[in-house]
Amino acid sequence: MDIRLGNGFDVHAFGTGDHVTLCGVHIPFDRGLTGHSDADVGLHALTDALFGALAEGDIGQWFPPSDPQWKGAASHLFLEKAVERVAARGFQIANLDLTLVCEAPKIGPHAAAMRAEVAGLAGITLDRISIKATTSERLGFTGREEGIAALATAALVSA
């Protein structure tokens, strides 16, 4: 059996706005996240974890920020491309694990909705998807509430 692991990391800064989109879930908030796409830091980290497991580059290579077609893009497009590549290469996603690092908004109340969203996009069952959250104890940029960081791990097995 061929087993592949990949990791992904992403950061987006807070800017003006009235909501953030995390793992495809709309969360009302007093700021938004800035970025070329919809700045869904969770889906970006998961996408990079899948590309990493396949050793097929990163999200910036697949979807260059310099390309205007990705401006304001819904990030499910990015994850769907990575999932498509997993299947094309003859793998299945064994599990996905995501950690969101922020002081606010609170992730817990939305984690179930995020898992459901990711399960739909990845085509795997809920028990294979973990969405966790932590703070950085008020330290650093996440501690100062300047933005959100996300770390993801993906495991693939040969189909």
Residues that bind Mg ion (CB under 5 A): 10, 44
Q: Is the CB of 10 or the CB of 117 nearer to Mg ion?
A: 10
Q: Is the CB of 52 or the CB of 91 nearer to Mg ion?
A: 52
Distances in whole angstroms, Cα of residue 90 to Cα of each of 6, 11, 62, 75, 138? 16, 30, 19, 24, 43
Instruction: Give residues with Cβ within 8 angstroms of 53, minimum separation 6.
Output: 4, 5, 6, 86, 91, 154, 155, 156
Q: Two tokens at 38?
A: 């919809």
Q: Is the CB of 36 or the CB of 89 nearer to Mg ion?
A: 36
Q: Two tokens at 31?
A: 């700021």
Task: Output the smallest distance, CB 62 to Mg ion, in A.
Answer: 12
Task: Output the smallest distance, CB 99 to Mg ion, in A.
Answer: 15
Q: Which residue is nearest to Mg ion (CB)?
A: 44
User: How far apart are the C-alpha atoms of 109 and 98, rounded to whole Å?
Assistant: 16
User: How far apart are the C-alpha atoms of 40 and 22, rounded to whole Å?
Assistant: 5
Q: Is the CB of 9 or the CB of 29 nearer to Mg ion?
A: 9
Task: Output the smallest distance, CB 20 to Mg ion, in A.
Answer: 13
Task: Output the smallest distance, CB 144 to Mg ion, in A.
Answer: 19
